[in-house]
Amino acid sequence: MAVFSRNFSRLELTISVPGLASSSSLPSSVRELDINQVPSEDEWITENMEDEEESSNGGPPRKKLRLTKEQSRLLEESFRQNHTLNPKQKETLAMQLKLKPRQVEVWFQNRRARSKLKQTEMQCEYLKRWFGSLTEQNRRLKREVEELRAIKVGPPTVLSPHGCEPLPASTLTMCAHCESVTTNNIDKGPTKTTTAAAPASTLSAKVTTPALQSRQPSAAC
């Protein structure tokens, strides 16, 4: 195993998404979710109970310990500082809480597991949203392709490869190579090679649409 570092103080949510440099690109609603937040006061379990004896030797059904507010608060506080405890910390905390070290250990294990679960749920939620936005983007791009196809038939707006001034439509020229690349790309859909990556020397003009202009600055400009 050994996938996760054992000495972390917080669980980090890092999602790598192709095309995004870092998780800072996440929607703020996702970024602001913090599973390390202490629950609000009314989420605390209010039952108080100090059951010292174990009844696991086949006797009566085990009594469920409910931690007091104060015990939970201390455990949460400790968890925020460190997600794992060394034996000394465990012992100290157990004494402080009047619990057995094993109970503190179990609490930390459960807390880690449940944090991870929440984290996974958040990732899942985020990926769903991401999928939705990609679907939408895909839809828009397809529509743009349709527009470009239409422009090929109708009079295009043209930008000079050496400047940003629009040229008369009649000056549009495209070498045979670019022509075939453009046609192939449109037919095959997205590939790793984009027109932007094509050698500048092969571009003698750029056909633009308003949508493309906003996103793709001309290499010649």
**Contact footprint for DNA (CB under 7 A):** 1-2, 4, 6, 43, 45, 47, 54, 56, 61-67, 72, 84-85, 87, 102-103, 105-110, 112-114, 116
Nearer to DNA, 56 or 170 (CB): 56
Query: Closest approach of Cβ 81 to DNA, in Å?
Result: 14
CA distance 61 to 103: 18
CA distance 39 to 153: 62
Query: Closest approach of Cβ 114 to DNA, in Å?
Result: 7
Query: Closest approach of Cβ 39 to DNA, in Å?
Result: 7
Query: Closest approach of Cβ 130 to DNA, in Å?
Result: 23
Query: Closest approach of Cβ 6 to DNA, in Å?
Result: 6
Nearer to DNA, 6 or 215 (CB): 6
Q: Tell me the angle at which helices 101-153 and 176-188 cross, rounded to the nearest 10 degrees.
A: 130
> By C-alpha distance, which of 220, 101, 109, 213 is closest to 161?
220
Give me 43's structure tokens. Answer: 């989420």
Nearer to DNA, 10 or 66 (CB): 66
CA distance 104 to 98: 10
Query: Closest approach of Cβ 10 to DNA, in Å?
Result: 13
CB 105 within 8 A of CB 83: no
Q: Is 208 helix (H, G, I), strand (E, B) or coil?
A: strand
CA distance 221 to 206: 11
DSSP letter assigned to residue 207: E
Nearer to DNA, 106 or 169 (CB): 106
Query: Closest approach of Cβ 220 to DNA, in Å?
Result: 52
DSSP letters, 138-167, are HHHHHHHHHHHHHHHHSPPEEE-TTSSSEE
Instruction: Compute the residue count for the chain.
Output: 221
DSSP letter assigned to residue 83: S
